[in-house]
Amino acid sequence: QLILGIETSCDETAAAVIKNGTDILSNIVASQIESHKRFGGVVPEIASRHHVEQITLVLEEALREADVTYADIDAIAVTEGPGLVGALLIGVNAAKAVAFAHSIPLVGVHHIAGHIYANRLIKEIQYPALSLVVSGGHTELVLIERPGHFKVIGETRDDAAGEAYDKVARTLHLPYPGGPHIDRLAQEGDPTSVPLPRAWLEDSYDFSFSGLKSAVINTIHNAEQRGETIKPEDLAASFQQSVIDVLVKKTVRATQEYGVNQVLLAGGVAANKGLRKALAKAFEDIANTELIIPPLSLCTDNAAMIGAAGSVLFENGKRSGMAMNGNPGLDIETI
Ligand code: ATP
Ligand code: MG
Ligand code: FE
C-alpha cells in the first residue's frame, strides 16, 4: 500500500510517499522560515503564495525520490485542518486535482493526528496509547483507544507551549522560530536561577503557559529598570524547566490513570532536547508503558506524518469526497 501525503497547513510545503503505513520512501519539506523571519512570525498571505509556488515541485520531488508514479499510489492523504485557511486550501486543492486526474481515493487528515501518527513511522502503535502533543498551536494530552479515534483529556487554556517559547524568545531578541534557540541556550544555563511559576491547575490535565510567559517578560523588564542583567541562558533554562516540569508530571499521571501501553511524544516542541531527556528519565521507572520519541525531522511539520495517519484512516475505510475543503477549525474528536 502506497500513500502520498501532502501537508500545507502553515509554513512548510511538504509531500511524502509512505509504504504500508510505516516505511518512508520519500519525505520532502520546503520550509518558508527564511521568508517569515523578518516579520517575527508566519504571515498568512506570504505563506499561501509560497505554497502555490512550491507545491508542484515538492510533489514531483516526492514521487521521484520514492521512484514511483501516480499510477502506483493507492490513496492521497492531505491535511484538511486545522491551520491557516489560505495555506490549507493549496494542499487540499492540489490533492483534489491529482486525485481527480488519476482516479485516486482521497483521505482528509487532521494535522494533529498526523503529528501523533509520526510515531508509527518509528514503532507499531500498541493501543490504548496516550500522546503528549506540544506544538506551535496546540498543547494537549490525547487518548487513542483504537486506531484513528482521539479523545482530548486535557489542553491548554491559553498559549500553546511552542507559542510561549516563541514569545519568550522574541523578548530575548532571538530569531524566529525561537524554540530551538531557547533550547540551545537552556543547555548552558542554571534552571534554578530564576524563580518562575508552574501552572498545575489542580487535578485537571489542562495546561496554561501565559502566566509563565508574562512572568519571564516581567522579570526581564524589571531587571532592565533596575539596571541589572540576568544571563539569557539562566532565564532560558529556568523557563524551560518550568515548562518541562508541568508537561512531564501531567503526562506521567495520565499514563498511570489510563493504564496506557505507550506514550507518544508529538509536535514541534517534541524536538526539545530538555523535554526529550526529562520524559525519557521519568519513564525509566514506569513498567508496562513504552515511551516513543520521534526523530527531530518527524517532530516539526512534514508530510510523512500525514501519510502515516492517512494510512490508518484509509485502512479504516475513510474516504473524503471532492467536496472536501480546508477547515481551519477541524476538531480531532469528530474526525
Ligand atoms: P500546530 O502543529 O499546532 O498546528 P505548527 O504546525 O505551527 O502548529 P509545529 O511545526 O508542530 O507547529 O511546531 C513548531 C513549534 O515548535 C514552534 O513554536 C517552534 O518554536 C517549536 N520548536 C521547534 N523546535 C523546538 C525546540 N527544540 N524546543 C522548543 N520548541 C521548539
Ligand atoms: Mg512550521
Ligand atoms: Fe504542526
Give per-residue pLDDT as tens, 138-178: 999 999 999 999 999 999 999 999 999 999 999 999 999 99
**Residue bearing the CA closest to ligand 1, atom 4:** 137
Structure confidence at residue 81 as a pLDDT band (50, 70, 90) = very high
166 belongs to an annotated ligand binding site: yes
Give the model's pLDDT for residue 141.
Answer: 98
**Residue bearing the CA closest to ligand 1, atom 1:** 137
The 10s digit of each residue's pLDDT in 191-200 is: 999 999 999 9
Give the model's pLDDT for residue 75.
Answer: 98
Bridge partners of 77, per DSSP, are 5, 107
135 belongs to an annotated ligand binding site: yes
DSSP code string of 261-284 = SEEEEESGGGG-HHHHHHHHHHHH
Between the CA of residue 224 and those of 138, 175, 194, what are the distances in Å?
32, 21, 15
Residue type, 46: I
Which residues 6+ apart lie within 8 Å of 214 measured at CB? none
User: What lines the ligand 1 site, CB under 6 Å?
Assistant: 10, 83, 111, 115, 135-138, 162, 165-166, 177-180, 183, 267-269, 271-272, 300-301
Report the separation in Å between the CA atom of 115 and the middle of ligand 3, taken as the mean of its atom positions: 7
Q: Is the pLDDT at 335 greater than 90, yes or no? A: no
pTM (2 decimals)? Answer: 0.97
Structure confidence at residue 274 as a pLDDT band (50, 70, 90) = very high
Alpha-carbon distance of 302 to 306, in angstroms, equals 7
Give the model's pLDDT for residue 21.
Answer: 98
136 belongs to an annotated ligand binding site: yes
Q: Is the pLDDT at 68 greater than 90, yes or no? A: yes
Cell of 141: 494530552
- Residue 234, helix vs strand vs coil: helix
Beta strands in the chain, from DSSP E residues, in sequence order = 2-7, 12-19, 23-31, 75-81, 106-110, 129-134, 139-146, 149-155, 262-266, 290-292
Cell of 234: 539562566
Residue type, 201: L
Beta strands in 35-138, from DSSP E residues, in sequence order = 75-81, 106-110, 129-134
CA-only gyration radius of the chain, Å: 20
User: Which residues have C-beta under 5 Å from ligand 3, the single-atom ion?
Assistant: 135, 301
Share of the chain above pLDDT 90, in %: 98
Nearest to 305 by CA among 14, 10, 11: 14
The 10s digit of each residue's pLDDT in 110-120 is: 999 999 999 99
Nearest to 14 by CA among 330, 326, 304: 304
